[in-house]
Structure formats: C-alpha cells, structure tokens
Amino acid sequence: MQFNAKDFNPHLDGPILTKRIPCWPYADPKGRHVVHLDEYLKTGGYNGLRKALTMTPEAVVEEVKKSNLRGRGGAGFPTGLKWTFLPKVDEGKDPGMRYLAINADESEPGTFKDRLLMDFDPHLLLEGIAAACYACRLKRAYIFIRGEYHHQAYVLEEALKEAYAHGVFGSKGLLNGTQTAGGGTWAVECYVHRGAGAYICGEETALLEALEGKRGWPRIKPPFPAVKGLFGKPTIINNVETLCHVPSIVEFGADWFSKQGRASTLGAGAPPSFGTKLMGVSGHVARPGTFELELGISLRKIVEDLCGGMRNGKKFKAAIPGGVSMGILSTDQFDAEMDFDIGRKCNVLGLGTACPTVFDEDTDMVMVARNIARFFKHESCGQCTPCREGSGWLYQLMTKVEEGNGKTKDLDLALEIATSMGSMPGTTICGLADGNNWAVRTIMNKFWGEFEARVKPSYVPVKMTIGAGAR
C-alpha cells in the first residue's frame, strides 16, 4: 500500500522518538534495523545526557517538570512532579542508595509501542535512564522487562554492553567520568531484569516485589515508592516511552516540547497533553502498525489516513483506546481525540497506552466482553477478595450470556459486581479490578442491545400485602 507523507502531517518537526526507526508516514518500516552505538552517536545520540551533566540535577528536574511530560505507561501522571516526591537531599551530600525502576513489562493486551523502541533504538532508552538517574540522584537502574520479550531483552543486553564500553554507565561516572555542573562525577549501574510473564507486574509496586525476588503482589500505599520503594529505599518508576522523551526535552528545552500536542480541552487548570505519543494500532484495519503522532489527533484520522481505513471496506463499530483496561469507544465516538482528556469526554477510564484496538461492524461485543473478563480473571493476583472473586463472577456471567443461557437479571448483576470492585470504589489495593470493571461495563452500557438480545427476560413478581392474611 502506497502512502504519501505530504498528505499527512502528524506533528511539527517530524519524528522524535522514531527518528532512527522507519515508520509510516515518514519512511517504509521495511528499513528497520537495530541502531548500535556508532550510528546512535552519529545521529545525535547522548547529546541530551551531555547537556544534562552541564546542568544541576535540580535544573534537569525543573525542565522536565516545566515540559508537562506525562507518563506514557497508562496513568498519565506528570513525570517531573513524580521526580520531586523523592526525599530532599542537601547539595553536596550523598543521598544514599536510591533506585530507578524502568517499567518495560508492557503486558497490557493490544500494546506494543515500548517494544518498538527496545527492538530498534535501545540506546535512546539507556540515555533517558542515565539522564533520569542524574536528575534524581539515583545510583542503580533496573529495566524490568516482560518475560515474553526474549529478543528485546537480548537487544537491551547488547546495547548495555556497548554503553558500558563507551563509559555511559560504570564506576567511573556517567560518560567516562564527565564532571557535572556541581563538580565531581555521578556513577550509575544499570541492569536488565526479566519478569516471568505476569500482567500484574505492570503495576508499579508489584513490579518492585518481583524485582526483589518475591511474588508479584501489589503493595498497600502509603508508603509510596518515592519514599520507600525497592529494597525499602527511595525509588522512581517510569515507563520506557516516558524515559525516551527525556533526552530530547533536556537537549531542546521544555518550550520546544510543549509546541507539540495540545493544551487541555477541559478548561483552565486542567493538565495539558503536550508532546508526541507512540500509538500502536491493531485490529480490523487495513494496515496495523505503530505511529508517532501528536496527542490530540482523532481516532478517525489515524484509521483512515494512516491505517488505510477499515479492513475489507467494512464499517467502524468500536475501539479500545489504549489497552483493554481502558474500556470501549462506541460507534458514535469514532472522532474521539487521542489525548489525556479522552476519559472524561468519552466515558472511558483514560487514554491508557494510546494503542487502539479497532473493531469492525461484524464484531460480537458480547464475545469481546467475555474474552476480556477471562483475561482479568486469569491475571488477578488474588490478594484482594473483590478482585479475586469478582473477576471470576464476571467471567462466569459473561460466558453464560454469550452461550445464550443468561437472563436479564444476570446483566444487572454483572453491572452491580463491576461497580463494586476496584481501587476507585476503595475495595482493592491496585487498579486491576478497575480495568476489569471499566472494560466490561463500558461494553455493556454502550452496546446494551447486543447483550439484551442474548438473554431471556426474567420477571420478579411483586405482590401487594394488605393485612396479616393477605397473599
């Protein structure tokens, strides 16, 4: 399929995260290859880190905070603000052991944007890690990578060897012991830690438990990781894509970053959606793939202009905006804008990973709900009773409805269960149950007719009683 980049301008200055990774509409993905250290340096690699070392750590944190970079892992929390949660350290004093945990788990179904970065441009992640460690005065970094990402783990390990040989990491200090703005050097050690394939380890505290060699169970908060995290020490947890934005923000400045994306459409005071975002599109589209786009682009434009429209010329029916836990966009929400305001505007949990899964007109939404419920039932860690039991009940009810054995009261029961489980109702430690209930209930609410058509009507007779002997 031919594509003319002149017909589409997704953001101002061309690709940023993917400038070394051929992607539509700028280049043919067939030209992709692993970017090794030599090529990375020739194309401006580690310039952001070098500039960071000429600034004080506080100045780097402030620049990231000023950029309004929001986490790209799903929650969208401001990155610079998160960094300020670390305990304050007096200038010139040793902060003690503090950690950076990189969430490369990417186990959310329908999400594969971090994989692209680790597959082909691993040094961009390593540069972001080094800059973040300097800014937050962290001494150790652990890349927690999904157990199924065998190839990506190998690519990262090879890139780490190159980075150590070049002096990026190691006991000498960042970039072979370069003098920092405050004098002296800052040494960082970086490691790749492979997970065992558990979805729950994408939750930050479960990730920390797994890094410590324990079962991946979320922790009760507070204390929060920035105060008491990995091995009981202050810890920052950031997503792969988030850290890959840091080098360019440091190199070109927060003002440059904020020219991409958009301000919030919810009014003054609401946090903006600045910057570009990797959006991995899958499902019933003619050309699925990962695209780097400005936040705020409409789903329709992505599907019709970048993905060649719906597959086999069929009509759009629904889409999951960013991982199954976010809920569903209905048929009349095809023009939904992909930014961090989407949750409040379209009645979904949020933007999530911004990797939409698209469904055509022939999709059975009852089957979709049942399949999602099955996934969450399987992946619940079982620590919280509402999630452990509720996820099983939801799966049983969805299976019953799909098979045609359900009654209308089963639909009411499913919605009642869904709205009673999750960290937002305050019944569970982490958000897995929220993802489960938002997915199921948004599908049910927005495609109620399909569910109602699959069940048998159930009537609860109401009797009026007057007097003791009335029947």
- What is residue 10's predicted lDDT score, i.e. its pLDDT? 47
Strand partners, 239: 103
DSSP H helices in 259-308: 299-301
- What is residue 429's predicted lDDT score, i.e. its pLDDT? 94
Instruction: Indicate the pLDDT class of residue 5, thresholds 50, 70 and 90.
Output: very low
Strand partners, 274: 261
**Beta-carbon-side half-sphere exposure of residue 428 (alpha carbons within 13 Å):** 29
Q: Which CATH superfamily is domain 16-259 in?
A: NADH-ubiquinone oxidoreductase 51kDa subunit (3.40.50.11540)
- What is residue 464's predicted lDDT score, i.e. its pLDDT? 59
For residue range 305-321, what is the model confidence (pLDDT) as tens digits?
999 999 999 999 999 99
Q: Please tell me the pTM assigned to this model.
A: 0.92
Question: Mean pLDDT in the chain?
Answer: 92
CB-neighbour burial class of residue 433 (10 A; exposed 0-12, middle 13-18, buried 19+): buried
- What is residue 463's predicted lDDT score, i.e. its pLDDT? 67
CB-neighbour burial class of residue 446 (10 A; exposed 0-12, middle 13-18, buried 19+): buried
Domain residue spans in the chain? 16-259, 273-360, 365-454
Instruction: Indicate the pLDDT class of residue 2, thresholds 50, 70 and 90.
Output: very low
CATH value of 273-360 in 1.10.645.10, 3.10.20.600, 3.40.1360.10, 3.20.20.60: 3.10.20.600
For residue range 271-299, what is the model confidence (pLDDT) as tens digits?
999 999 999 999 999 999 999 999 999 99
Instruction: Indicate the pLDDT class of residue 52, thresholds 50, 70 and 90.
Output: very high
CATH 3.40.50.2300 fits 365-454, yes or no: no
Q: Which of 118-132, 235-249, 255-269 shows the lowest mean pLDDT across its residues?
A: 255-269
Report the 10 Å Cβ neighbour count for 196: 11
For residue range 318-334, what is the model confidence (pLDDT) as tens digits?
999 998 999 999 999 99
Does residue 125 register a pLDDT over 50?
yes
CA separation for the pair 352, 164 (Å, rounded): 34
Does residue 27 register a pLDDT over 50?
yes
% pLDDT > 70, the chain = 95
Report the 10 Å Cβ neighbour count for 308: 16
Does residue 11 register a pLDDT over 50?
no
For residue range 256-271, what is the model confidence (pLDDT) as tens digits?
999 999 999 888 788 9
Q: Using an 8 Å Cβ cutoff, are 259 and 241 in contact?
A: no
φ/ψ of 84, rounded to 5, equals -75, -10
